Amino acid sequence: SFEKLAGKPSVKVEWPVIMGAGGYLFSMYIVDDPTNPVAVVKDSIIDGCSVACTYLDDTNYKVEIKTLGNDKYNNKDAASVSEVTWSTLVPATTIPAGTDLNTYFENNPITSGKDVEVAYELEAGGSYTISGDLNLGVNNVQLRGNKVNHAKVTFTGSGAIVSSGGGMALKFIDFDCDVVSKGSFVKFGDVPEEIKGMNSYGIVTNPMIIQSCEIRNVRHYLVNINGKKYAIQNFIVRDCLIKFYQDAEIFNFNSNNSFVKDFELSSSTLSEASNGRFMRVAGGKGADVGWADCSMNFTSNTFYNISCDQEAFNSNVWNRQKNTVNLSKNIFYDSCKGEFNRRIVGGRTDNAKTCDNNCYWYKGGSGLEKEANGNYGDKSTSAYGVDPGFKDPANGDFTVRHSEVISHGSGDPRWLK
C-alpha cells in the first residue's frame, strides 16, 4: 500500500509481514519512461514492513520487494521479487489521437463542477487540434499529455482555452498557436454565479496551472482576463518553454480590478520578439475578498528579448496591499527595458522584495539596475551583469556558457545541465 504523508513530500510504502523473514530487500524506481527506470531507492535492506520515500506529483513508480531468508530458522531468500506499480497522476480519461478537442468535448460535455478535479489524457506523441474556443466552464479540469513523449496540439482556428474559474491544469503538451493572430492562449469566460463572492468577484480557489508545456508562436495574449472580474488565488507557470512574436501583454489582468493573490513563474524560458508589456494589472487587492496578503515569485527563469523596449508593468501596483516579491536566479537578456523590477513593488512601504542571484544583460552591456530611488531596482549584493553566452538562441538553444552565470545557477535549469 502507498500513503502520502500529510504535510511532507514523502510516501509511506507498506507491505504485510512475512513470518520468519530476515528482512526485505527494497527498491523503488520512477518509471515515467519504462525503458529508463530511475532509482529512488536501490537494494535497501529494510528491517520492518514499511519505508518512507520521496513523493513527486505526476509520477509513475515501481516498487520491488524481495523477502530475505533467516539463517536462525533455516529460511531461504524468496525465489522471486514482488513488483507493484503505482502512480501519483490523477486518474484520467484517454482522448484518442487525431481528435479535435472542441468536437470531443461537445460530444462528451464536462459536468463535474469545481469541487472534483477531472482529468483527460492525450496519447503519447499524438496529434490533436483546437478549432475554436475550448470552453472548460466552471469545471476543475486537468488536460495532460505524456510526461516523456508530449502530445501535440495545434490551434486551427481563432480560439482559446477558456476557464470560468473552476480551476485548470495544462501539463505535458506542446501547443502551436500560430493561427491565433489577435486572441489568447488562455482566457477567462463570464463569471458564474456559483463562484461569485465578496464585491461580486468570481473567486477562483483551485489552482490555475500551466506546467511542463511548450507553447509556440504566441501572437497576442498568453493569459487574458478578458474583461471579467476575477480574484485568482493561485496562477502558476512552471517548467515551460514559451516562444512569442506578439504585440500585446503576455499576462493581461487589467480589467475590473481583477487580480492574482499568489503568482508563480518558475523554471521556464520565455523567448523571442515580444513588443507588448510583460504584464498589466488592474490594481485590485486581496482584502476585497478577504485575503490578507499576496505574493509574486519569479524563480530560475530565462527571459530573452521579452518586452525589450517596454516597462514591465503599467502604473498600477500589484494588488495595492502587502505583497511579498521574490526574484531569484533569473536571467534578463534584452528584456523589460532592463528594468524588470522597477514597477513590481512601486513606492509602497509595506511590500517586501527579495532579489537573489539575478543576471541582467541589456543591449550589449550590463543591465544591472542602478536607479537612484531606493524603492526600485535590484539592490542585492548578488546581482550581476554579464552576457550569458547562450549557445544558439536563434534556434531555441539557451544553454549557458558563461562561467559566472553557471556558478550563480541563474536561469532556467534545463540550460545549466
Residue 125 has pLDDT above 70, yes or no: yes
Residue 373 has pLDDT above 50, yes or no: no
Distances (CA, A) of 165 to 77, 115, 139, 147, 348: 55, 11, 8, 26, 30
**Residue of 287, 231, 292 lying closest to 258 (CA atoms):** 231
How does the average pLDDT of the chain come out, rounded? 91
Tell me which H or E stretch contains 374.
none
Burial of 205 (0-12, 13-18, 19+ CB in 10 A): middle
Do residues 21 and 71 touch, judged by C-beta distance below 8 A?
A: no
Would you state the pLDDT for residue 281? 84
Residue 85 has pLDDT above 80, yes or no: yes
Residue 345 has pLDDT above 80, yes or no: no
Residue 181 grid coordinates: 493572430
Would you state the pLDDT for residue 314? 62
Residue 169 grid coordinates: 491544469
Do residues 123 and 150 touch, judged by C-beta distance below 8 A?
A: no
Residue 147 has pLDDT above 90, yes or no: yes
Would you state the pLDDT for residue 277? 83
Residue 167 grid coordinates: 480551476
Hey, CA dihedral for 277, 282, 285, 288, is it positive or negative? negative
**Residue of 359, 323, 324, 321 lying closest to 340 (CA atoms):** 359
Do residues 408 and 380 touch, judged by C-beta distance below 8 A?
A: no
Would you state the pLDDT for residue 380? 84
The percentage of the chain sitting over the pLDDT mark of 90, rounded to a whole number, equals 76
Tell me which H or E stretch contains 139.
none
C-alpha to C-alpha distance for 163 and 90, rounded to whole angstroms: 19
* Contacts of 57 by beta carbon, 8 Å cutoff, 6+ apart: 88
pLDDT grade for 372, boundaries at 50, 70 and 90: very low
Residue 236 grid coordinates: 502558476
Residue 194 main-chain phi, psi, to 5 deg: -70, -15
Give the pTM.
0.93
